[in-house]
A and B are shown apart, each in its own frame.
Chain A
Amino acid sequence: MEIGYVRGIGRTKFGILDENLQEMMYVAVSKALKDASLEPNNIDMIFIANFVSGILQNQLHLGSILNNVLNFTGKPIIRVESACASGGSAFYQALIALNKFRNILVVGVEKMSNIETNLTTKALASADDNTLYLKEGLVFPATFAFIAQQHMLKYGTTTEDLALVSYKNHKNAKLNPLAHFNYKDVTIEMIQSSATVCSPLRLFDCSPISDGAAAVIISKGKNSNRDIAVVGSSLCTDYCSLTQRENLTSFNSAKKAASEAYRQANIKPDDLDLIEVHDCFTITELIALEDLNICKPGESKDLVRSGYTDIGGTIPVNTDGGLKADGHPVGATGIAQIYEVITQLREEAGERQISGAEIALTHNIGGVGGTTAINIFRR
């Protein structure tokens, strides 16, 4: 059953941008309104997804800030924060709000590049339980380094497998003019010789610090043949910290959310034509394939080695370049994933188009899987 329809999409380029939060939101929202053939006064409610603008930009109250550049005066605007899953969470909340409103705008935004990296690293660590671990130096890449290490010990996954994920996503980003690293030619040798960030993770295993905004407009009913149905949507939460988990190589929130979204959509994993997963680190893409039940635990490396996840493979993964190479402006990321699958399902993805794509899924996690939002779309 259709939960709602995506009617309009828009986004900025991701990368090191000159624009501030409100300028980026203006661009993304204006494009989504134009794409949906709507005016601001046709929008009934707005959700804004954002993670760290309060810490890094000293700017909160983003609803009113958006209203400075696009006139939504009198409309309800609410900011949603669930770390890196802010975008997917805002979209989930917007679908619930369709019970009350006809047209809902969801915009995600983040500005991170104009701040010293060590401050940004600390801000991102606020997605973990900092009362327990920030003092012990457990920055975010270190947490995912542990996960990668455990996966390697348990299943024989190698750093070469992680490099293949990075290589694929950089290759896809070359086909996406809006991607952070669209300009960059990346080789396996560059990936494997890049600097260690937190062993065993190297620089090319990590998504970049990006600026950007993305927006989608959802409606209750179908208004044109370009509208794409939302047929499954679930959000689940788990303990914040890795040390409270029974399984260090899987995210319970993702497994539970995926199971419920598949049930709502009445599909099986092998019905999917493409997926966008939250590759904040390369290991996370591998774990996503397992949590989404596309393969058994420990077998994701085989899919990547065989080209199963390539454009042209059985289930292409992160056709826009993913967080790794499209970029990771945190609050915008979950919305950008939806932007990509809608573009694909409309058959408007140009050089990276997946021929005949009908069903797609987005997987957006916050923290170390403390929150996961899964959404499924059907043409």
Chain B
Amino acid sequence: MNRYKVKGVTKVCIPSTDHLEVPYYVLLLEDENNKLYIKKAFKEYSIGEYYMNK
């Protein structure tokens, strides 16, 4: 299991062709090496919180 720090979070309220169900959240995640990742979620996270990737 990998652990990432939530560096940014945005609540997306506009649908697009591949993401018709809104709202959803997109997370800007940072790993221990400061590498950044993007992840879609339906749960709201706060900045500074940790996201666990199973």
Contacts and interface: CB of A to CB of B under 8 A. Distances in A.
Contacts of A145: 10
Contact of A118 (B10, B12, B16): B16
B14 A121 contact: yes
B19 A137 contact: yes
Given A142-B10, A150-B8, A136 B38 contact: yes
Interface size class of A (residues with CB under 8 A): 20 to 34
A118 B8 contact: no
A198 B38 contact: no
Main secondary structure of the interface of B (DSSP, over half): strand
Contacts of A135: 18, 40
A138 B14 contact: no
A122 interface: yes
Main secondary structure of the interface of A (DSSP, over half): helix
B24 interface: yes
Nearest to A128: B38
Interface string B7-50: 11111111111111000101010000001111110000001000
Given A132-B38, A137-B40, A138-B38, A198 B17 contact: no
Contacts of B17: 118-119, 121-122
A134 B9 CA distance: 16
A146 interface: yes
Contacts of B28: 146, 242-243
B10 A199 contact: yes
A141 interface: yes
Contact of A136 (B9, B14, B26, B35): B26
Contact of A198 (B12, B20, B37): B12
B11 A243 contact: no
Contacts of A117: 14
A125 interface: yes
A134 B18 contact: yes
Interface residues of B, number: 24
Interface in A171-205: 195-201
Most chain B beta-carbon neighbours within 10 Å: one of A118, A142, A197 = A142
A1 interface: no
Given A118-B16, A122-B16, A134-B18, A196 B40 contact: no
A156 to B, nearest CB: 15
A146 B8 contact: yes
Contacts of A153: 47
A242 B29 CA distance: 12
A122 B17 CA distance: 6
Contacts of B37: 243
Contacts of B8: 146, 149-150
Contact of B15 (A118, A136, A242, A243): A118
Given A118-B20, A141-B14, A198-B14, A136 B47 contact: no
Contacts of A132: 38
A197 B40 CA distance: 16
Contact of A243 (B12, B13, B16, B38): B38
A197 B13 contact: yes
Interface of B: 7-20, 24, 26, 28, 35-40, 47
Q: Which 10 A-B pairs have the closest CB atoms?
A: A243-B36, A145-B10, A121-B16, A137-B40, A199-B11, A122-B17, A136-B40, A146-B8, A137-B19, A198-B10
Interface of A: 117-119, 121-122, 125, 132-139, 141-142, 145-146, 149-150, 153, 195-201, 242-244
Given A118-B15, A243-B36, 10 more contacts: A118-B14, A134-B18, A136-B26, A139-B14, A145-B10, A149-B8, A196-B13, A201-B10, A242-B36, A243-B28
24 contacts: A118-B16, A118-B17, A121-B17, A125-B16, A134-B18, A135-B40, A137-B12, A137-B18, A137-B24, A138-B26, A138-B38, A138-B40, A139-B12, A139-B16, A139-B19, A141-B12, A142-B10, A142-B26, A149-B10, A150-B8, A197-B14, A198-B13, A200-B10, A243-B37
